[in-house]
Structure 1
Amino acid sequence: MNLIYHIVPAADWQKQAGASTYEAPSLQTEGFIHLSTKEQVAGTLSRYYQDVPDLLLLHVDTGKLTSELKFELATNNEAFPHLYGPLNKEAVVHIETL
């Protein structure tokens, strides 16, 4: 099982609790959902979520994804996973409270 991770405020995740998929705000504004590899999670947290309370870390099995996954270079020349469509919740194998 290959895992990637998505950081989400608990309130955002809970707003879509009844749906079979999750759509992060970035899907509308940027066209994809931001994800991270295990090695990238700590850096993503410190850069973008330092002052955000009540976060969840979604553990996502790449083999179960139904939307297209691409690894693309960010501004720091590091390849990050981007999901081009909704995140189907069957692919979320664990939810960790941060």
Structure 2
Amino acid sequence: MIYKLLPTTEWDDARAAGQFTGTAVDHQDGFIHFSAADQVVETARRHFAGATGLTLLTVDPARLGDRLRWEPSRGGALFPHLYGPLPVAAVVVAQALPADVPAPDAVAALLG
């Protein structure tokens, strides 16, 4: 599985539209950023510390086809990048993070 942290309001909009086209950062970079299980807590720490109103998506990479590419990013590690919209049907779990727990801690707890 791969993971995406995003504002809950953006996830709500995506569910209504049937697809997620990305956050502002995703649009700027030209692909939707994801993290592997061993990367998502650090992603939360670096990019979402102090943020509230977030949802963690668990996505089945097999449902994304060849638009998903693993490319070097932070420290040369390979990260999953999706070139095109994320179909809502590829999301197997969407979990809202508790507002009273820092995002990295909440993500770590959800992933066990």
TM-score normalised by the chain length of structure 2? 0.79
Q: Which residue type is aligned with residue 83 of structure 1?
A: L
Flag structure 2 segments of 5+ consecutive residues without an equivalent: 98-112
Runs (4 or more) in structure 1 with deviation over 4 Å come to: none
2:2 is paired with a residue whose SS is strand
Fraction of identical pairs, as percent = 35
Stretches of structure 1 that go unaligned for 5 or more consecutive residues are none
For residues 7 and 35 of structure 1, the distance between their equivalents in structure 2, rounded to whole angstroms, comes to 8
**Residues 1:68 and 2:67 are matched in the alignment:** yes
Higher helix share: 2
1:12 & 1:67 partners in 2: Cα distance? Answer: 24
Cα deviation, 1:52-78, whole Å, max 9, x if unaligned, reads: 111111000011125600111114111
- How far apart in 1 are the matches of 2:30 and 2:66? 12
Deviation at 1:17, TM superposition (A): 3.0
2:10 counterpart residue number: 12
Structure number with the higher strand fraction is 1
Instruction: Kindly indicate whether residue 84 of structure 2 is the aligned counterpart of residue 89 of structure 1.
Output: no
1:13-92 alignment, distance < 5 Å: 13-25=11-23, 26-65=25-64, 68-92=67-91
Deviations 1:1-40 (A, max 9, x none): xx10110110121233311111112342111000000110
